[in-house]
Amino acid sequence: MAASRTGRPPVQRAVRRPAPRPSVPDNPLRRLRTRARKAWDRPLTAYYLILGGSLLIIVLGLVMVYSASQITALQLSLPGSFFFRKQFLAALIGGALLFAASRMPVRLHRALAYPILAVAVFAMALVQVPGIGMSVNGNRNWISLGGSFQIQPSEFGKLALVLWGADLLARKQDKKLLTQWKHMLVPLVPVAFMLLGLIMLGGDMGTAIILTAILFGLLWLAGAPTRLFAGVLSVAALIGVILIKTSPNRMARLACIGATEPRAGGADCWQAVHGIYALASGGIFGSGLGASVEKWGQLPEAHTDFIFAVTGEELGLAGTLSVLALFAALGYAGIRVAGRTEDPFVRYAAGGVTTWITAQAVINIGAVLGLLPIAGVPLPLFSYGGSALLPTMFAIGLLIAFARDDPAARAALAMRQPRFGRKRAGGSRAERVPRRWNTMRRRASAARSSGER
């Protein structure tokens, strides 16, 4: 070190460092929002929402069917688990249909459109044949399969309209024919009106409303002009008004909207009012699973159309909000699948299935809450009824197949490997090492190549 003129060593000056910037306080809400946004944008989000949400709805529905149907079964001199066992069997068959539909390629779904439509139309016409069709609660829409098993063909008409309508519109879009209004309406609207006519012959207004919602959903996705859409909607509304005005039973149901007394304006509103009583007595967390009072003969159809009321009584507001959240997640996932695909058939079919399940859930829950007239439609995947459960689970399998068919989701699924599993035998010894250690080797080699020691 060089000395100064005075013989003293030079004074070392301290290096000036920049002042530290003020730290931005960590916002947990912002971090949570960022993580949630990243999770929603992942390729497999729709796949997991559809699969997980539908399975949760089905499992919770089985639990509530068992709880809500015990008293009804005992009143009919049947075992307490009678309705639950039938619903569980239907869920097993529906699970096989769901798995098969989720593994089918899109071209096979399109190939099944016309056969399913033909079978549905034939079965719906067979209902009107004396000695084959049978009436349940005033509606002639059932075919007896022997014993206690029955089938409602109109439920399969919903699936038929979705598949056939999606295939029809997709083929016309490929040929650039949807810009002409006659190609958009024909033959979609006439075939839909034929299905509606077969349903209304049996008097099932609720299923007809769901089928009409599917038709409008397909027209909306096809880009129907506002005037054309409004024209078809006006015709359907006029027919609906006529059908309601000419039926005292439907007029009575309309008069029970918002009723608070069992006899409102001369109409029998017993079911609607006791559904409100069940929801009101549930509170926040409910009276407990199996502890419903209204299911003891006070609330008709407690395990079918009004199972949501029993859910509110036994599981409270928390249980009903959970069911609503699951249906909302299912609807969001269906819209996401329809919005992100480039295949027109997938877009129309996913939009039709989402419209079907969402509209039916809104109509059922709205009737239980007293906001809509009682239409006699079950809560999808939740209420008792194998005829409604089987086609709905097949439709869920469609959504799962479409979510898996997305290119980004397909790549993400292909990259998924069991962390601790071994690959198939036949490869080298290094290939049979668990994937975790292979990953660690790659990281180590990358570190050595970057100059680390």
List, for residues 67-117, the tens digit of each pLDDT value.
Answer: 999 999 999 999 999 999 999 999 999 999 999 999 999 999 999 999 999
pLDDT (average), residues 408-436: 57
Sign of the dihedral through C-alpha 69, 373, 352, 400: negative
201 in Cβ contact with 125 (< 8 Å): no
d(CA 363, CA 372): 7
Instruction: Describe the strand order of the beta sheet including 133-136 as a list of residue ranges.
Output: 133-136, 139-146, 149-151
377 in Cβ contact with 206 (< 8 Å): yes
Assign 56 a pLDDT band (cuts: 50, 70, 90): very high
d(CA 243, CA 253): 13
Sign of the dihedral through C-alpha 186, 167, 335, 370: positive
Residue 452 has pLDDT above 70, yes or no: no
Residues paired with 136 in a beta bridge: 139
d(CA 421, CA 78): 48
Helices 45-75 and 386-405 meet at what angle, rounded to 10?
170
List, for residues 312-324, the tens digit of each pLDDT value.
Answer: 999 999 999 999 9
Residue 179 has pLDDT above 90, yes or no: no
307 in Cβ contact with 383 (< 8 Å): yes
Helices 82-103 and 45-75 meet at what angle, rounded to 10?
160
d(CA 156, CA 392): 9
Residue 242 has pLDDT above 50, yes or no: yes
d(CA 162, CA 211): 9
Average pLDDT, the chain: 85
Of the listed ranges 1-5, 199-203, 226-230, 280-284, the one predicted with least confidence: 1-5
> Which pair of structure tokens corresponds to residue 34?
């960022």
pLDDT at 24 (0 to 100): 52
| Structure-model confidence comparison of residues 166 and 443, the more confident one | 166
List, for residues 265-274, the tens digit of each pLDDT value.
Answer: 667 889 999 9
Assign 444 a pLDDT band (cuts: 50, 70, 90): very low
341 in Cβ contact with 347 (< 8 Å): yes
d(CA 61, CA 56): 8
pLDDT (average), residues 367-393: 94
206 in Cβ contact with 375 (< 8 Å): yes
